[in-house]
């Protein structure tokens, strides 16, 4: 048990540290690049990365298959099956890389016709798209080794290479921008360092799992296994791209590249919260899968409840801070002129994103127990609705209309579908789930909101120093109440989830991730 706890702690701890570095880098680097390049060039930067973000669709769920089957075959010590899987995945990803490169070349030829770009920026946009698209194409076959490390549960290798790449990125970008270099130099640094990190991961993965590479290992059976598992995952990937990558493209097409910067000022703050939830919830997939395989439905329900409760502990106070101090945060981060449009975008997105993120454990548990096909279908419908509504609403309402196009379908999915669907699969009443998962986190946010409102009445923050004072007071109050709930056992306690009178007490071996561990014999 102790070894398992240390392993989880190492993975989760490195994930959270990596996220902290990424958030700090983003907070510092985004306004630095914005003010050095200007609104239009920065808008093109966001636009091109949003466009190439759609290349993730070409993954076809292959990476999820690598993770699943590497874990399975290494457990059975079947190196032949592992070699077949990795070689087939490498061949598939190489074909995907070639396809991505062809799409990039065609897109480079027509980028000026699709987006509203001034004549002076068309050449830069083409080269930027070529550089970023080429790196994504190379990243597909190199991504096999990242999937191997995840299958081996060596998340800490991925995290530490990400941390190193992020730190070097800041140093190099600041160095070259201060010396007058421009958009393409920043792009080369941004996409080059992850490729270097991928090569390092490849060396570590092959040392940990000495896979044989040969054409004879590329086979239909491995391809069939990957295809069977990854179909629903592919739909979720498509839905994710439609949900998170359409905004910049729609705004760039129907408004202007410069307008993307104002949308980014409001939406990026919420994205950081999503990254925090992702880094926490990733451990729930294998945990719920093991528990389901062991035939322990009560423990699975407890993981479900506690997972979502801790998502709420993380997300709800951040949402309160954004609502009350959002204008001050945007002003201190990127400048006062971005508040007028950035804050309405933030307020439009804050409710649906919060509802989505506090259910961060739900989708992971469904993935872990292979009950995610219906979720994939609904997510795809949501993504398509997002795109259509954004196009319709951006014309009369600008970037706020685009945010509304994202918010409406997302709210419908996470209010009317996911709670009912997940609870039905786990044999829980929705009212029981909502009460156990969210009542305590919601109550703990009340003193936080009161503190921030009092601080704001005292003074309005306009810079980081003033903002830090208000945030310190708010987090001190929230932290004190959370610590009280943790020490009293309320934060970890789950009541009656099965038969009348049954009590599920918290596991004493509660790990740093916030979710109890599964015994070694599971």
Pair of tokens at residue 107 = 């897109």
Last residue of a domain, one of 244, 261, 278: 244
Do 182 and 218 share a structural domain?
Answer: yes
For residue 480, CA distances in Å to 317, 472, 477, 483, 500 come to 13, 12, 5, 5, 34
Which of 173-177, 299-303, 513-517 shows the lowest mean pLDDT across its residues? 513-517
Same domain for 164 and 228? Answer: yes
Helix (H, G, I), strand (E, B) or coil at 296: coil
Do the beta carbons of residue 316 and residue 441 sit within 8 Å?
Answer: yes
> pLDDT tens across 71-94, in order?
666 666 667 777 787 888 888 888
Name which residue leads in pLDDT, 51 or 173: 173
User: Are residue 324 and residue 217 in the same domain, yes or no?
Assistant: no
> By mean pLDDT, which of 182-191, 281-290, 396-405, 503-512 is the weakest?
503-512
Distance between the two ends of the chain, CA-based, in angstroms? 11
C-alpha neighbours within 13 Å on the C-beta side of residue 482? 18
253 with 237, same domain: the answer is no
What is the structure's pLDDT at 319? 95
218, 244, 270: which is the final residue of a domain? 244
Would you list the DSSP string of 437-485?
HHHHHHHHHHHHHHHHHHHHHH----SHHHHHHHHHHHHHHHHHHHHHH
- Based on the fold, state whether residues 322 and 409 are members of the same structural domain: yes
Q: In sequence order, what are the residues at sequence separation of 6 or more whose Cβ sits closer than 8 angstroms to the Cβ of residue 313?
A: 441, 444, 482, 491, 514
| Same domain for 257 and 233 | no
The pLDDT value given to residue 286: 63
Instruction: Let me know whether 221 and 266 are in one domain.
Output: no
**Pair (288, 186) in one structural domain:** no
Backbone torsions φ then ψ of 500, nearest 5 degrees: -60, 135
Give the pLDDT score at 419: 95
Between CA 310 and CA 223 the distance in angstroms is: 37
Sign, CA torsion 88/91/97/100: negative
Distance separating alpha carbons of residues 467 and 490, to the nearest angstrom: 31
Mean pLDDT across 47-76: 71
Tens-digit pLDDT profile for residues 484-520: 988 887 777 776 555 333 343 444 333 333 333 333 2
Is residue 518 within 8 A of residue 5, CB to CB? The reply is no
pLDDT of 495: 63
Looking up tokens 């079947």, which residue turns up? 78
Q: What are the strands, taking DSSP E only, across 391-434?
A: none
The pLDDT score that the predictor gives to residue 510 is 34
Q: Which two tokens stand for residue 41?
A: 């060039």
**Best CA proximity match to 366, nearest among 451, 443, 308, 429:** 308
> Based on the domain organization, do 138 and 172 belong to the same domain?
yes
Q: What pTM was estimated for this model as a whole?
A: 0.69
pLDDT for 514 equals 39
Residue labelled with tokens 């080269």 = 127
Q: What confidence tens digit (pLDDT) does each residue in 386-424 have?
A: 999 999 999 899 999 999 999 999 999 999 999 999 999
Q: How confident is the model at residue 273 (pLDDT cuts 50, 70, 90)?
A: confident
Top pLDDT among 237 and 176 is at 176
Same domain assignment for residues 270 and 405: yes
- Domain of 202 in residue numbering reads as 1-244
pLDDT above 90 (res 26): no
SS (H, E, C) 97-129: HHHHHHHHHHHHHHHHHHCCCCHHHHHHHHHHH
Residues 380 and 300 in one domain: yes
The per-residue pLDDT of the chain, averaged, comes to 80
Nearest C-alpha neighbor of 63 from the set 147, 152, 148, 156: 147
Q: What is the CA radius of gyration of the chain?
A: 23
Q: Is the pLDDT of residue 374 over 70?
A: yes
Shared domain for 446 and 496, answered yes or no, is: yes
Question: Among 244, 276, 311, which residue terminates a domain?
Answer: 244
Beta strands per DSSP E along 394-435: none
- Per the structure, the count of domains in the chain is 2
């Amino acid at each position: 048990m102790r070894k398992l706890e240390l392993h989880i702690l190492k993975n989760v701890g490195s994930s959270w540290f990596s996220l902290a570095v990424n958030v700090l880098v983003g907070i510092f680097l985004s306004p630095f690049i914005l003010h050095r390049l200007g609104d239009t060039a920065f808008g093109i930067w966001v636009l091109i990365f949003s466009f190439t973000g759609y290349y993730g669709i070409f993954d076809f769920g292959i990476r999820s298959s690598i993770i699943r089957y590497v874990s399975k075959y290494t457990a059975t010590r079947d190196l032949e099956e592992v070699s077949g899987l990795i070689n087939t995945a490498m061949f598939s990803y190489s074909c995907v890389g070639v396809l991505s490169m062809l799409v990039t070349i065609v897109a480079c030829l027509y980028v000026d016709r699709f987006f509203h770009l001034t004549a002076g920026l068309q050449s830069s946009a083409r080269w930027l798209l070529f550089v970023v698209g080429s790196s994504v194409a190379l990243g597909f076959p190199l991504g096999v080794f990242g999937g191997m490390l995840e299958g081996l549960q060596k998340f800490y290798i991925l995290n530490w290479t990400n941390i190193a790449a992020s730190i070097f990125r800041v140093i190099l970008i600041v160095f070259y921008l201060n010396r007058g270099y421009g958009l393409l130099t920043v792009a080369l640094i941004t996409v080059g360092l992850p490729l270097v990190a991928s090569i390092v991961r490849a060396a570590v993965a092959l040392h940990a799992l000495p896979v044989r590479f040969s054409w004879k290992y590329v086979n239909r059976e491995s391809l069939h296994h990957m295809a069977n598992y990854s179909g629903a995952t592919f739909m979720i990937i498509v839905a994710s791209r439609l949900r998170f990558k359409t905004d910049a493209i729609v705004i760039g097409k129907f408004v202007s590249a410069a307008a993307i910067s104002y949308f980014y000022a409001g939406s990026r703050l919420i994205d950081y919260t999503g990254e925090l939830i992702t880094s926490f919830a990733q451990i729930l997939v294998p945990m719920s899968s093991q528990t389901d395989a062991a035939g322990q439905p009560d423990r699975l329900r407890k993981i479900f409840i506690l997972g979502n409760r801790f998502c709420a502990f993380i997300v709800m106070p951040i949402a309160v801070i954004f609502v009350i101090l959002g204008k001050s945060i945007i002003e201190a981060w990127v400048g006062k002129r971005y508040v007028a449009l950035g804050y309405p975008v933030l307020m439009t997105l804050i409710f649906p994103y919060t509802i989505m993120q506090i259910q961060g454990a739900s989708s992971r548990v469904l993935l872990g127990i292979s009950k995610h096909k219906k979720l994939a279908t609904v997510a795809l419908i949501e993504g398509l609705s997002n795109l259509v509504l954004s196009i319709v609403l951006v014309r009369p309402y600008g970037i706020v209309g685009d945010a509304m196009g994202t918010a409406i379908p997302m709210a419908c999915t996470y209010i009317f579908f996911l709670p009912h669907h997940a609870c039905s699969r786990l044999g829980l009443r929705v009212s029981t789930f909502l009460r156990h998962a969210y009542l305590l986190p919601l109550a703990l946010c009340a003193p936080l909101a009161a503190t921030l409102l009092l601080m704001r009445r005292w003074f309005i923050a306009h810079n980081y120093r003033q903002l830090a004072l208000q945030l310190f007071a708010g987090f001190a109050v929230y932290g004190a109440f959370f610590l009280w709930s943790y020490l009293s056992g309320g934060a970890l306690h789950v009541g009656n989830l099965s038969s009348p009178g049954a009590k599920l007490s918290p596991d004493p071996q509660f790990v740093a991730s916030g979710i109890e561990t599964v015994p070694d014999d599971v």
